[in-house]
Structure 1
């Protein structure tokens, strides 16, 4: 009986924790970090602010967990593409297309997690996240280099260039302060331009050695 009670309590604690993180993510997606105050998170999750502090030391810790979960999902998607049967060129095209398209489909969330001003602890987590994304891209580039599809001097530098294009290039269209709405045709065009740019930057040119 004691074990069952303990198990139920653990399950309830996990539900509370997930509800807090889900609420924070939803608030960020709606209005950025400024909307995700501890009080607002608690109200949306249906718990007290005191309970939020039982699970998290401060707002920064919550935001870091939201970012970590979001990046884990993006890396899972990129790794799945990297391990597919596509050619390296197709893998790179699909990886960049998928990442940028997902960012464009959740503009406020993507902008906040990648670019909104944050404290040093959160910035460190951002850096770590980009390293994980870079590792997935490096696998694709390395494969393309070996089979002759890609041509570049240094693998790490090439991967950094691709990740930079995948992330920083969306600052302008995602920036909520611009208050611009893009239709689907523009989004598709924009995403394709970025993916083509990344592929062409590392693609072995005809007649190249």
Structure 2
């Protein structure tokens, strides 16, 4: 009986913790990191502020975990593409297309996770996250270099340039202060332009784009 109570308690604690993280993510998606204050997170989760601090030392710990979970999900998608049966050119095009399209579909959340000014602790986690994205792109580029689909001098530099293009290019359309809305037709065109650019940048002269 004691074991059952302990198991139920652990399950309830895990649910509370997940609810806090989900509430923080939703608040960021609605108004950015500035709206994800502990009191607001607690109210959205239906718990007290004191209970939030039972699971997390401070607000930054919550935000770091939200950021880490979000990036791990995106990296998982990129890794799935990297391990697919597509050609290297198709993999790179699809990876960039998927990443940018997903960013544009959740503009406030994406802007906050990638660009919103934050304190150094969160910035460190953001840098680590971009390194994970770069690693996924490096795998695709390395494969393409070996099989002759891509031609570049330095793998790390090429990966940095691709990641820079697929992330920083969306600063302008994602910036909440600009209040820019893309219709689906233009969004598709915009995404394809970025993916084409990244592929063209690493193909041998005269290579075929998607």
Give the match for residue 116 of structure 1: 116
Give the match for residue 66 of structure 2: 66
How is 1:81-160 mapped onto 2 (pairs within 5 angstroms)?
A: 81-160=81-160
Name the SS for the 1:153 alignment partner.
Answer: coil
Q: TM-score, normalised by structure 2?
A: 0.97
Q: Deviations over 1:186-206 (max 9, x none)?
A: 111110010000000001112
Give the match for residue 185 of structure 2: 185
Instruction: Give 1:181 deviation, angstroms.
Output: 1.2
Give the match for residue 43 of structure 1: 43
Q: Deviations over 1:49-107 (max 9, x none)?
A: 00001111111111110000000100100000000000000000000000000000000
Q: Deviations over 1:13-49 (max 9, x none)?
A: 0000000000000011011111111111000100000
Are 2:43 and 1:32 equivalent residues in the alignment? no
CA distance in 1, matches of 2:57, 2:177: 30
Name the SS for the 1:9 alignment partner.
Answer: helix
Q: Provide the alpha-carbon RMSD of the alignment.
A: 0.8
Instruction: Give 1:5 deviation, angstroms.
Output: 1.1
CA distance in 1, matches of 2:186, 2:44: 34
Unaligned regions of 5+ residues in structure 2, if any? none
Unaligned regions of 5+ residues in structure 1, if any? none
Give the match for residue 170 of structure 2: 170
CA distance in 2, matches of 1:185, 1:35: 32
CA distance in 2, matches of 1:31, 1:182: 19
Q: Deviations over 1:151-205 (max 9, x none)?
A: 0000000000000111111100000000111111111111001000000000111
CA distance in 2, matches of 1:41, 1:71: 21
Runs of 4 or more above 6 Å deviation: none
In the alignment of these two chains, the number of paired residues is 207
Q: TM-score, normalised by structure 1?
A: 0.97
